[in-house]
């Protein structure tokens, strides 16, 4: 692990999670213009221009000193960028942050996001000194809820009409995982 920044590169058996940089513009455009990737993200519409993709890159890089980050998920076998994950709303004084993640459709149901989030969570508890990690998930996004529950997250409640997308309001689940649950093993460590 490269510890040269607040959010260094992380490595797992099959993946490298590396900070988003200006060299990722083409990937960001391709990835976030895909309606399948964008379906449960909060942005109103998929990215439609390189300028919009550049805004995403500029927002996340460099991550030093910011209360958020984004890692690009790169598959080691072919060095292909296949998704992103990261922390949002990092509140150091309260030792909590929110996670977000997305993955190209061709890589769904292969345990990739489980593997990436394990590394992200371990980093958060060990190096960011988090006590609590939260996730907000569209009620309709059952696959994401199952993923988080496999990692030990617990539903805390339903946030009614919590986000607006276009003219519609959407309910979201609030899920959380505590450091003590992760450390004690009460949070499952297998897929």
The answer to whether position 147 is within a domain reads yes
The CATH number linked to 52 is: 3.40.630.30
Task: Give the tens place of pLDDT for each residue, 154-182.
Answer: 999 999 999 988 888 999 999 999 999 99
In tens, the pLDDT along 82-130 reads 999 999 999 999 999 999 999 999 999 999 999 999 999 999 999 999 9
Q: Does residue 157 fall inside a structural domain?
A: yes
Q: Is residue 191 part of a domain?
A: no
More reliable by pLDDT, 42 or 28: 28
Structural domain includes residue 40: yes
Identify whether 166 is part of a domain. yes
Tell me the H-state helices in 61-136: 112-126
Q: Is residue 3 part of a domain?
A: no
- The pTM of the full predicted model, rounded to 2 decimals, is 0.91
Show the domain range for 67. Answer: 10-184
User: For residues 88 and 99, is the Cβ–Cβ distance under 8 A?
Assistant: yes
Domain count across the chain: 1
Domain annotation covers residue 5: no
Q: Per the structure block, which two tokens stand in for 101?
A: 């993640």
Distance CA 40, CA 57 (A): 20
* CA neighbor of 120 nearest in space, from 112, 40, 158, 104: 112
pLDDT confidence of residue 41: 85
Separation of alpha carbons 41 and 1, rounded Å = 29
Residue 94 lies in a domain: yes
């Amino acid at each position: 692990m490269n510890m040269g920044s607040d959010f260094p590169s992380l490595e797992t058996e099959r993946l490298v999670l590396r900070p988003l940089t200006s060299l990722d513009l083409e990937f960001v455009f391709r990835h976030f213009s895909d309606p399948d990737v964008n379906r449960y993200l909060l942005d109103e519409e998929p990215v439609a221009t390189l300028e919009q993709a550049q805004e995403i890159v500029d927002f996340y890089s460099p991550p030093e000193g910011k209360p958020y980050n984004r890692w690009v998920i790169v598959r080691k076998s072919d060095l292909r960028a296949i998704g992103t994950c990261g922390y949002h709303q990092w509140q150091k004084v309260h030792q909590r942050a929110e996670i977000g993640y997305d993955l190209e459709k061709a890589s769904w149901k292969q345990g990739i996001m489980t593997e990436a989030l394990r590394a992200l969570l371990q980093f958060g508890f060990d190096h960011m000194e988090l006590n609590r990690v939260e996730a907000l998930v569209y009620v309709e996004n059952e696959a994401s809820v199952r993923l988080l529950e496999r990692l030990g997250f617990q539903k805390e409640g339903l946030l009614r009409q919590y986000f607006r997308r276009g003219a519609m309001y959407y309910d979201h689940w609030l899920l959380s995982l505590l450091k003590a649950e992760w450390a004690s093993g009460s949070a499952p460590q297998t897929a």
